[in-house]
Chains A and B, each alone.
Chain A
Amino acid sequence: MAETANLTESQRRGALTHPDVTDHAEVNRDILKMLSAPGKGWWALFGLAVLGVGIFFGSWFWQIYRGIGVSGLTSPVGWGAYITTFVFWVGIAHSGTLISAILFLFRAPWRQSVYRVAEAMTVFAVMTAGMFPLIHVGRVWHAYWLIPYPNQRYLWPNFRSPLVWDVFAVTTYFTVSAVFFYLGMIPDMAAARDQAKGLRKKLYTIIALGWRGTDRQWHHFSKAYIFLAALATPLVLSVHSVVSWDFAVGIVPGWHATVFAPYFVAGAIFSGVAMVITIVVPIRKIFRLEAYLTTKHFDALSKLVLLTSMIVFWAYLTEFFMAWYSGEPPERQMFWNRLFGHYWWATWIMLICNGMVPMMLWFKRVRHSVPALFAITIFINIGMWFERYVIIVTSLSHEYEPFAWGVYRPSIVEMGILLGSFAWFGFWFLLFTRLLPPVAIAELKEVIPPKLRGKKSGSAPATDAELSGDVAPAPAGD
């Protein structure tokens, strides 16, 4: 039975990414400890989030009461901060699926520690993004018209419209990522159930669905997980492509470009991975997870940020080049206007935050410095919001006829909703860190070498050198 003794490749590599974690029971203790009574810091943040959620719904109710006129949206700019923020949050969501599905299929050895946080981020970011079309339509009580349903007048949505595609893409994305998130959590909920007491035990018993960890359950679970990852991978690429087609299918100068789909997907992953770092840094600090989230994880994440930053910056340059190379005066004027027109500051924030600041990640010292990474990713989050603002607002404000040009300024209500959306996201995220294990327990164990008795005659477990893959492991069987 050489099968067990020969550690699989991922286990060996995992032993290198988490060198200080060696025992399976220790993982349960460390991670489930996070679910105990929250500290003062958590309550302070939660209070802030509740306040922000109040601002969010307060602003929205004011808009519902007074009408969409309280926003700055008016001719010619009919899409403003709401759609910008929608695209921003959908983009944030993408890296979660990237880390949980795409890196799972590629067997990236470092994803285990961060993927649960990233996946939770996906679900909550899509939940946040999903609010914005509802806010944006103004008369929210008609929002169900977006969904095809049998009705008296035999009316159906226009399936040729990218906006209807978007409804399908975003709802599918939310459903699949929520299912994926929940499914991955079932075994961890069982682990939490087995150690919890009182009310929490009841709660986890329900969420764990009676999971026992039998061979049969794991066998089907592993397969189902692979298939879900394989389905989520094209889905994540499609969702932001569809979002980009909301713009690219229109003929507005600055929108009508074939580069939009890959450009948006790269931007989404860029902003999302940056957001993962922004979120993971405080979690690691508060819950003392230094053994689970090592510099190796931050290094890998920052390399992803660097790569996608270069793709995004390349796309910016391509857009400017194509505008010049096309020889089309409206297109050229559009991009000149972006750089030096009314919204020049937004464009420069975008270029500096997304193209230049991340270049610091070329240096290993920066990639290994947690405070530096935190600061850089905040810049990226800001830059990526402005990217969408630039695309949407500068294009619409200088659309076709010069007499119809205009200027859009977000109103205080829109600002409140934008600010509140971060609180709404944070509200769910904070609840998540206290109720569900924020680090995937079962997946982490997969990359921690199992306890082996070693040779049948002796009873000494395998040595550390064997476990870390420095020497070929001795066969354990006869």
Chain B
Amino acid sequence: MAKGILASFDYLDSACDAIEELRKAGHTDITAYSSYPEHALEHALGYGQSPVRVWTLVGGLTGTATGFAFTSWTSMDWPLITGGKPILSIPAYVVIAFELTILFGALSTVIGLFINSRLPNPIPPVVYDPEFSAGMYGVYVQSEKLDTVRAILQKHEPEEIREGAYA
């Protein structure tokens, strides 16, 4: 059972300031909530590159390889000349390879996203407030030193603070 504090902020800059101060104070287990992708929050939390890009690249390249391999293999499997074209008509197969690059790349991006952001998540959220999807910014901190966390959060004037033990 870890203990944590959830604060709701009306103002974006207050939430960012609170996060930055918490990080300076050595707290690392911080989660921020917002209703839209806010770069200022990501910046405050110090994010680097998302590994989703690797999924896109690998998926795309797999698609290209599959496209060429599949068309070539099926042509060789039953070598029948049609339209006087070579059995291995690479230029014609570019279209298939291209489409599969996009298809595999896109699907693998989605898989990468789902794995990295823990989706789908059927467990009802405990640390959450419906206001976060409306317009509020949320900051949740898990820590052993809850008193200092509360003090830092209070300083930035949140609208609401909730405290409790969460699984």
Residues of A within 8 A of B (CB): 1, 3-5, 8, 23-25, 27-28, 148, 154-160, 164-165, 168-169, 172, 175-176, 179-180, 183, 186-187, 190-191, 193-195, 209-224, 227-228, 231-232, 234-235, 238, 242, 441-443, 445-446, 450-454, 456, 459, 461, 476-477
Q: Establish whether residues A227 and B52, one from each chain, have CB atoms under 8 Å apart when the complex forms.
A: yes
Docked pose: A5 CA to B43 CA in angstroms: 13
Q: Establish whether residues B89 and A160, one from each chain, have CB atoms under 8 Å apart when the complex forms.
A: yes
Q: Establish whether residues B31 and A1, one from each chain, have CB atoms under 8 Å apart when the complex forms.
A: no
Docked pose: A5 CA to B37 CA in angstroms: 16
From B11, B89, B109, B135, A228 is in contact (CB under 8 Å) with B109
Q: Is B3 an interface residue (CB 8 A)?
A: no
Q: Which 10 A-B pairs have the closest CB atoms?
A: A210-B121, A24-B135, A194-B130, A209-B120, A156-B74, A445-B36, A223-B50, A224-B113, A453-B11, A25-B135
Q: Establish whether residues A168 and B95, one from each chain, have CB atoms under 8 Å apart when the complex forms.
A: yes
Q: Which of B81-104 contact A (CB under 8 A)?
A: 82-83, 85, 89, 92-93, 95-96, 98-100, 102-103
Question: Which among B17, B132, B135 has the greatest number of chain A C-beta atoms within 10 A?
Answer: B135
Supposing A25-B134, A476-B13 touch, asked if A224 and B52 sit within 8 A by C-beta, the answer is yes
Q: Is B4 an interface residue (CB 8 A)?
A: no
Q: Establish whether residues B13 and A443, one from each chain, have CB atoms under 8 Å apart when the complex forms.
A: no
Which residues on B sit within 8 Å (CB–CB) of A451? Answer: 10-12, 135
Which residues on B sit within 8 Å (CB–CB) of A213? Answer: 33-35, 132-133
Docked pose: A85 CA to B106 CA in angstroms: 28
A interface secondary structure, majority: helix
Q: Establish whether residues B77 and A156, one from each chain, have CB atoms under 8 Å apart when the complex forms.
A: yes
Which residues on B sit within 8 Å (CB–CB) of A168? Answer: 95-96, 99-100
* Shortest distance between the CB of B72 and any CB in chain A (Å): 9
Docked pose: A212 CA to B125 CA in angstroms: 8
Docked pose: A368 CA to B56 CA in angstroms: 41
Supposing A8-B39, A24-B35, A227-B56 touch, asked if A195 and B75 sit within 8 A by C-beta, the answer is no
Docked pose: A231 CA to B112 CA in angstroms: 15
From B17, B83, B102, A235 is in contact (CB under 8 Å) with B102
* Shortest distance between the CB of A239 and any CB in chain B (Å): 9
Which residues on A sit within 8 Å (CB–CB) of B85? Answer: 160
Q: Name 14 extra pairs, CB < 8 A, besides A187-B36, A231-B56.
A: A8-B39, A27-B135, A156-B75, A159-B75, A165-B99, A175-B107, A180-B106, A210-B121, A212-B125, A215-B41, A231-B102, A232-B102, A238-B98, A452-B11
Q: Is B7 an interface residue (CB 8 A)?
A: no
Q: Establish whether residues A187 and B35, one from each chain, have CB atoms under 8 Å apart when the complex forms.
A: yes
Q: Establish whether residues A4 and B31, one from each chain, have CB atoms under 8 Å apart when the complex forms.
A: no
Question: Which among B53, B99, B119, B120 has the greatest number of chain A C-beta atoms within 10 A?
Answer: B99
Which residues on A sit within 8 Å (CB–CB) of B43? Answer: 3
Which residues on B sit within 8 Å (CB–CB) of A234? Answer: 98, 102
Q: Establish whether residues A215 and B45, one from each chain, have CB atoms under 8 Å apart when the complex forms.
A: yes
Q: Is B116 an interface residue (CB 8 A)?
A: yes
Q: Establish whether residues A148 and B74, one from each chain, have CB atoms under 8 Å apart when the complex forms.
A: yes
Which residues on B sit within 8 Å (CB–CB) of A8? Answer: 39
Docked pose: A190 CA to B79 CA in angstroms: 53
A-B contact pairs, 24 of them (CB 8 A): A1-B13, A148-B70, A158-B82, A160-B83, A169-B99, A179-B107, A195-B134, A210-B123, A211-B119, A214-B33, A216-B116, A216-B117, A218-B41, A219-B37, A220-B116, A223-B50, A223-B113, A224-B112, A228-B110, A238-B102, A452-B11, A452-B12, A453-B157, A456-B17
* Shortest distance between the CB of B119 and any CB in chain A (Å): 5
Docked pose: A175 CA to B59 CA in angstroms: 15
Supposing A159-B75, A191-B133, A213-B34 touch, asked if A176 and B50 sit within 8 A by C-beta, the answer is no
Which residues on A sit within 8 Å (CB–CB) of B71? Answer: 159
Which residues on A sit within 8 Å (CB–CB) of B100? Answer: 168, 172
Supposing A169-B99, A215-B45 touch, asked if A4 and B33 sit within 8 A by C-beta, the answer is no
Q: Is B5 an interface residue (CB 8 A)?
A: no
Q: Establish whether residues B92 and A227, one from each chain, have CB atoms under 8 Å apart when the complex forms.
A: no
Which residues on A sit within 8 Å (CB–CB) of B112? Answer: 220, 224
Closest to A239 in B: B99
Supposing A223-B50, A445-B36 touch, asked if A459 and B157 sit within 8 A by C-beta, the answer is yes
Supposing A450-B38, A477-B17 touch, asked if A195 and B130 sit within 8 A by C-beta, the answer is yes
Q: Is B44 an interface residue (CB 8 A)?
A: yes
Question: Which among B71, B77, B113, B128 has the greatest number of chain A C-beta atoms within 10 A?
Answer: B113
Q: Which of B125-165 contact A (CB under 8 A)?
A: 125, 128, 130, 132-135, 157
Q: Establish whether residues B75 and A217, one from each chain, have CB atoms under 8 Å apart when the complex forms.
A: no
Which residues on A sit within 8 Å (CB–CB) of B116? Answer: 216, 220
* Shortest distance between the CB of A104 and any CB in chain B (Å): 13
Q: Establish whether residues A216 and B119, one from each chain, have CB atoms under 8 Å apart when the complex forms.
A: no
Docked pose: A417 CA to B46 CA in angstroms: 56
Closest to B31 in A: A214
